[in-house]
Structure 1
Amino acid sequence: MMRTRPLKVALLGCGVVGSEVARIMTTHADDLAARIGAPVELAGVAVRRPDKVRAGIPAELITTDATALVKRGDIDVVVEVIGGVEPARTLITTAFAHGASVVSANKALLAQDGASLYAAAQEHGQDLYYEAAVAGAIPLIRPLRESLAGDKINRVMGIVNGTTNFILDKMDTSGAGYSEALDEATALGYAEADPTADVEGFDAAAKAAILAGIAFHTRVRLDDVYREGMTEVTAADFASAKQMGCTIKLLAICERAADGESVTARVHPAMIPLSHPLASVREAYNAVFVEADAAGQLMFYGPGAGGSPTASAVLGDIVAVCRNRLNEATGPGESAYTQLPVSSMGEVVTRYHISLDVADKPGVLAQVATVFAEHGVSIDTVRQKGKDGEASLVVVTHRAPDAALSGTVEALRKLDTVRGVASIMRVEGE
C-alpha cells in the first residue's frame, strides 16, 4: 500500500545540479513514488537570485531564506547542493535539529568537517547521504559503506576529477602542451574559468579524504591528504612514460600500510602501466580501482561530473533516505572505529621516475648513482642521451620511501654536474 501523504524535499541551491534534481523529481514523480512507497514533493527551493527564470519550478517555491526553509519542521529531506563550507554546514546541522535528513554533494565540507556532521545526524536520529560528493553518477560511496562493509579494503586508487583527466588525455593522445589542452577543456566546458581547484588537486584531495575515511573506518580530513597538482606535467614526461609503456594520470590514492597500523591518502600525477585498467580511462570520465581482501580487485567507472550524472546520484540518495523514513529507520552512519593514524607522505613507498639535466662528460652517471646509493634508493634502470655538452639522464628506481627520494633529489641538486631536475614523477599500479 502506498502512503498518500507526500514526503517533502527542500532544495538548497538551484544551479546546474539543483535544477536537474528538480527536473527529474517532476518528470519522474510517478516512478519515484512507486520506488519509495510514497509520493515525493518539492516543497521549497532556496536560491541567491530569486529573479532568475527557472523552468519547471513554480515561483511560489522559490525563497532566499534558506534558514527558514530548513527550519519549517514539515521537511523530510534537505538536499544541499550549494557547496562550500558556510553557510552549508550551519544549514545542514539546522536541518538535522528540525527533523530532516540530509542529502549532500558537498565534498569540501565533508572532507573538512564530516565528523561533526555525522555527530549531528546521529544526535537527532537523521540520515546523512552523499553519494554525489565523489565521482558523480558512479555508485561508489554506497558500495564502500554497505556492499563491502564485511570486507577489508586495502587500497583505493582512482581518477576522481574529469577536468584533469581530460587535459592529461589530450596531452597523451594529441601531443598538446598543458596550456593548449587546458584551453580546449575550457572551451568545451570541462574546466572552470579558474581551474585551480581541479588542476592543483584540491578537488581530488577532498574526495580522497572522504574515500579513505570510509574505506579504512577512520577519520581522514582534508589536511591529512598530500596534494600535488599537475600543471608541471610536460610533453617530455609523456614521451618518457610511453618509453616505459605507461601513461600519466592525476590519481587519488588511499592505502592501508602493510602492517595495517596506519593509512595514507595522497593526490598527485603518476605514471601507470598501459596494462592497468585506469590507463584506458579517457576524456572527462572517472574511475576508481578498489583492492579488498575477499572481493579482490574492483573498478567503478563512469561520468564523474555534470548536471545530469550528479543529479542521478542525488536522486538515488533521496530514494534511499525516503525509504528509511517510511520504515522509521536510518542508514549507515560514521564508521571510525579503527582510529588509525594517517602517516605522512614521507613514509609512502613507491617507485620513481626522475629526469635530470646533466653535463655530458665522464663520471656523471657514477656521481648520480652514488647519491642514490647514499640515500638508500635503489636504481632499476637508467637512460642517457647527450648532445653538445649537455645530456638528459632518466632514472627509474625500485620502491623506496618518499622521504628517501626527497633527500636524494635535494643532494642531486647540489652536484655541479647536475644542471637541473627536470621532472620527478611517481610510478604506480605495478
Structure 2
Amino acid sequence: MTDEPAKPIRVALLGCGVVGSAVARMLVTNAADLRARVGAPVELVGIAVRRPAKDRTDLPVDPATFTTDAAELVTRADIVIEVIGGIDPARELLLSAMAHGASVITANKALLAEDGPTLYAAADAAGVDLYYEAAVAGAIPILRPIRESLAGDDVRKVLGIVNGTTNFVLDKMDTSGAGFEETVTQAQALGYAEADPTADVEGFDAAAKAAILASLAFHTRVRGADVFREGISDVTAADIAAAKAMDCVVKLLAICERTTGPDGDGINVRVHPAMIPRSHPLASVRDAYNAVFVEAQAAGQLMFYGRGAGGDPTASAVLGDLVAVARHRVAGGRGPGESAYADLPVLGIGTSTTRYHISLDVEDRPGVLAQVAQAFAAHDVSIETVRQHIPANSATGQAHANLVVVTHRATESALSATVDALAASPSVAEVVSVMRVEGA
C-alpha cells in the first residue's frame, strides 16, 4: 500500500503592495521548505490586485496569477492572506472566505481593532482559523506568545513601542535636537513615514495595536475606540530637553494594564507620549524598531524586540501564521479562537495612575511657589521634585520663572483637575506642557 501524495494547500493573496509582494516572493522561493514544514504543497492560486497592468516582472509569479476579482478568488482557496488594509472591502472579503471554508491570515490591525469579534464569530461558525501575528509589531512574535505561551499565566501589563515612524521621529529629536516637523520630513524621505503621516503621528496606528494586545492579554474585547489616544505632534524640542534633564527619553507608548480597585478589576488601555528613564529597556529602542515589554505574574518581565514594519519583516510574520494554519489543514483541528471570558470593564483614562512632569510659566515673586504647591495638595497630587529657572522677560520687563514640577504617582483625573486649577491661577501665566512619566 502506498501513501497518496498530500493534497495541495491552496493560498489566495489579497494585495500586492510592499508586504504582499514580499509574501508572494517568499511563498514561491521557499516553496520546498514550506512543503516540508507543512506536510503538503503550498500553492499560490491567485493574487488580487487593483491594477493588473502594473509591472510586476520582478516577482517570480505567473502573470496569470493576478486578478481583479477578489470576491471570486476567496471562494476557491483553503487559506486567504489579506494585506490590503482598511475596513472595507477587507471585512466582506474575509467573511466570504470563511463562509466558503477558508482559514484567514490578516495583517489588518484597523479591522481587528474595530470588528475583531465579528471575524472571530465567523471563524467559529465555519470551523476555520483566524491568525494575525503580522497585525502588531511586524516580525516580532508577540501575539502568539501572549495568546498561547502565556495562556496559563496572569498578564498584568503590556508596555510597548509599536509604531516605527513615531519612534524614529522621537529618537532623532532626542539625538539631533531637531524639531518635530523637520524630523517627520526626514522620516518621509527615508520611507519611514507616509506622505500623510496622520495615522502614525496622531497615534491611530498604535491605538489599534494596543486594542489587539489588550484583548489577548486580558481575555476581554477591546476596540480601538476604547483606547485613550494622544499623538506626538505636540511634542517639542523643549519637551525632549526636559526629558534629558531627568535622564529620560520620550517615547510614544502603548500601555495596557490590569487594575484592581475598590469596585473590582478593570483594564486601562492608552497610547500617548511619555518620558521613560534611560535605564529602562524600552529607552534603548532606536530608529524605526519596535519593542513590547510584558509583565506576567509567574513569568515576570519579558521583552520582545525587532523590526516592527517593512515588507520582509511583516511577511515573515505572515508566513509563520501560514505554516501554523496549513499544518492544521493537513492534520486536522484548529488553533485557539477568541478568549473573551474575563469581560473586564475598560476604564477611562481618568482612572490611570502614573507620574507627571509639568512645566509652568509663573510670576517670579514671593508666595507663588506656595500657591502652586497648594493647587497640587488640594487635589491630592503629591510633589516629588521642583526645579526653577528664571529667564529675563525683555518684552514686558516683568520677571517670570519656569517652574518644573515632577509628581509622585497620581490618577489622571486628579492631575487634570490640578492642571485646570493652575491654569486659572493669576500667578500662572501658562501651563507650558504636561507629560506623563512611565517605567519608573
Corresponding residue for residue 188 of structure 2 = 186
Stretches (4+) displaced over 6 A: none
Residue type of the partner of 1:71? Answer: T
Distance 2:328 2:334 in 1: 6
5+ unaligned residues in a row in structure 1: which ranges?
Answer: none
Kept after mapping to 2: 8 A contact 1:205/1:252:
yes
Most deviating of 397-406 and 359-368:
359-368
Say if 2:425 is the partner of 1:421: no
TM-aligned CA deviation for residue 2 of structure 1: 8.6
Distance 1:38 1:49 in 2: 32
Corresponding residue for residue 170 of structure 1 = 172
Corresponding residue for residue 61 of structure 1 = 65
Q: Under a length normalisation based on structure 2, what TM-score does the superposition of the two structures give?
A: 0.96
Kept after mapping to 2: 8 A contact 1:3/1:37:
no
Identity of aligned residues (%): 68
1:170-216 CA deviation, whole Å, 9 max, x = no partner? 01111111111111111110000000000000000000000000000
Distance 1:31 1:69 in 2: 25
Distance 1:239 1:155 in 2: 28
Distance 1:109 1:3 in 2: 38
Kept after mapping to 2: 8 A contact 1:2/1:37:
no
Corresponding residue for residue 145 of structure 2 = 143
Corresponding residue for residue 403 of structure 2 = 393
Residue type of the partner of 1:363? Answer: G
Residue type of the partner of 1:68? Answer: E
Residue type of the partner of 1:413? Answer: A
Say if 2:302 is the partner of 1:298: yes
Q: Secondary structure at the match of 1:261?
A: strand
For the structure 1 residues 2 and 357, does the alpha-carbon distance in structure 2 shift closer, same or farther, using more than 3 Å as the test?
Answer: farther
Distance 2:14 2:5 in 1: 26
Corresponding residue for residue 33 of structure 1 = 35
Q: Under a length normalisation based on structure 1, what TM-score does the superposition of the two structures give?
A: 0.98
In the comparison of the two structures, how many residue pairs are matched? 428
Within the candidate set 349, 356, 359, 2:353 is matched to: 349
1:234-293 CA deviation, whole Å, 9 max, x = no partner? 111111111211111000000000346100100000000111000000000000000001
Say if 2:332 is the partner of 1:328: yes
Corresponding residue for residue 156 of structure 1 = 158
Distance 1:60 1:126 in 2: 28
Say if 2:414 is the partner of 1:404: yes
Most deviating of 129-138 and 351-360:
351-360
Kept after mapping to 2: 8 A contact 1:2/1:38:
no
Residue type of the partner of 1:198? Answer: D
Kept after mapping to 2: 8 A contact 1:13/1:47:
yes
Corresponding residue for residue 377 of structure 1 = 381
Residue type of the partner of 1:313? Answer: A
Q: Secondary structure at the match of 1:262?
A: strand
TM-aligned CA deviation for residue 57 of structure 1: 2.1
Within the candidate set 85, 91, 98, 1:83 is matched to: 85
Most deviating of 49-58 and 351-360:
49-58
Distance 1:414 1:243 in 2: 28
1:1-150 aligned within 5 A: 3-55=5-57, 56-72=60-76, 75-150=77-152
Most deviating of 3-12 and 336-345:
3-12
